[in-house]
Amino acid sequence: MGWFLFFLGIFLGVSGSKLYDLKVDKAVSLKWWHYLLMLVIFTWTAYGSIFAYTSFEEGSTRAGWFFILLHWGLAVFVSFLIIGIGRRRSGKALGRVETRATEA
């Protein structure tokens, strides 16, 4: 289990740094509650992964798959919900094209 936690920590750390790089590259401003929500989602998925891993080790595959679907599925759903709310508030919703008047 130690190696699993080690690789899970590396995965979550790399994911967090890539999200930060994406934020800097795209010049996206995030509020404090966005960071808090990301921390909750990362913690939620880590807990679900650990529980699923221990369930598979004990031979209870049904409980393991249930927690993978529940925890990771809910985390992905909430992440897409946050992205949609952020796009709506910033005016960058999909399908909306900004046009600028050119000066002659």
Q: Is the pLDDT of residue 89 over 70?
A: no
Global model pTM greater than 0.75? no
Q: What is the pLDDT of residues 20-71, one digit of tens each?
A: 787 788 777 777 777 787 788 888 888 888 888 888 888 988 888 888 888 8
Cα–Cα distance measured from residue 97 to residue 37, given in angstroms and rounded to the nearest whole number: 29
Would you tell me the crossing angle of helices 32-58 and 73-90 to the nearest 10 degrees?
170
Question: What share of the chain in percent tops pLDDT 70?
Answer: 78
How far does Cα 90 stand from its chain's mean position?
Answer: 19
Tell which residue, 39, 48, 44, has the closest CA to residue 20: 39
Domain ranges of the chain: 2-90
Cα–Cα distance measured from residue 48 to residue 99, given in angstroms and rounded to the nearest whole number: 45
Q: What is the pLDDT of residues 92-103, one digit of tens each?
A: 544 444 555 555
- Which sign, positive or negative, has the C-alpha torsion 57, 59, 61, 64? negative
